[in-house]
Amino acid sequence: MTTPFDQSRYQVRFEWGAPGLDALAPSDVVVVVDVLRFSTNVTARVDAGETVPLDAAAHAVSLNGAAVAARAAELDPAPTVFLGALRNAAAVARAALAEQTRRGARTSIAVIAAGELAGREPGARLRFAVEDLLGAGAVIDALGALGVDHTSPEAAAACEAFRGLRGAARHLLTASGSGQQLIERGARDEVLAAAAADVSASVPVLRAGAFVAYAG
């Protein structure tokens, strides 16, 4: 049964966290965006040739990104699950288009900004995360550049946020709550690395419980 909030009329959809994913109509591709730091770190590890399990260790270092990916993997029918970030947004868009070509049919794409959970307890508040808005918007913008531009109003707004603020991404990430928290822990270089746009051609895809490099 459709609802006014499931964005089923649109090819490219946008929501926040696992609850947002559940609110959307089933999608063929789910892109999980957790810029600080799950998507960015896993992309770097896949860049280095690693296979990254979505296991207890992943959940231990990621309050929300790993949880959203795990929830996406539980959906029926099962979507293709990618990790997206500022660093690989264009590559993710190309991978989504390749999936459409492989399937030979119009492919729906849900871009999920992970946001930040206030804690690990059930029902913990999901906090807005500017870095994930920008990362999701970057993926949606890159999809549009490839002609995949039938976007929901929610996705269009995320895209325009990225377009308008892309020049300030480095400042916004370092000044954000998540960025400041990491900088206080001595991880300033990680925050700056996460702000770099389209420097990676790797796209982590979830296969049999682990992230590997998407090969088409």
Output phi, psi for 113, to 5 deg. Answer: -75, 125
Other residues' Cβ atoms within 10 Å of the Cβ of residue 142: 24
> What confidence category does residue 10 fall into, taking pLDDT thresholds of 50, 70 and 90?
very high
Which of 113 and 63 is assigned the larger pLDDT?
113
The pLDDT tens digits of the residues spanning 87-110 come to 999 999 999 999 999 999 999 999
As a whole number of angstroms, the distance between CA 211 and CA 9 comes to 30
Determine whether domain 12-211 maps to CATH 3.40.50.11240.
no
Which residues have a Cβ under 8 Å from the Cβ of 8 and sit 6 or more positions away? Answer: 2, 24, 25
The residue behind tokens 């860049």 is 47
Q: How many residues does the chain have?
A: 216
DSSP-assigned states of every residue in 159-206: HHHHHHHGGGHHHHHHHSHHHHHHHHTT-HHHHHHHT--S-----EEE
The H or E element containing residue 14 is strand 12-16
How far apart are the C-alpha atoms of 159 and 213, rounded to whole Å? Answer: 25
Q: How far is CA 27 from CA 67, 75, 111, 156, in A?
A: 18, 10, 10, 17
Q: Give the per-residue pLDDT at 197.
A: 97
CA distance 203 to 47: 8
Nearest to 84 by CA among 34, 45, 128: 34
178-210 confidence digits (pLDDT tens): 999 999 999 999 999 999 999 999 999 999 999
Backbone angles phi, psi at 212, to 5 degrees: -130, 170
What is the rounded distance in angstroms from the CA atom of residue 113 to the CA atom of residue 167?
Answer: 20
For residue 78, the 8-state DSSP code is P
The conformation of residue 126, written as its DSSP 8-state character, comes to E
Q: What pLDDT does 131 receive?
A: 98
Q: Write down the domain spans for the chain.
A: 12-211
pLDDT of residue 63: 83
pTM beyond 0.95: the answer is yes
Q: What is the pLDDT of residues 107-166, one digit of tens each?
A: 999 999 999 987 777 778 899 999 999 999 999 999 999 999 999 999 999 999 999 999
Q: Are 203 and 92 in contact (CB under 8 A)?
A: yes
Strand, helix or coil for residue 65: helix
Lowest pLDDT segment from 20-29, 115-124, 164-173: 115-124
Residue 52 identity: V
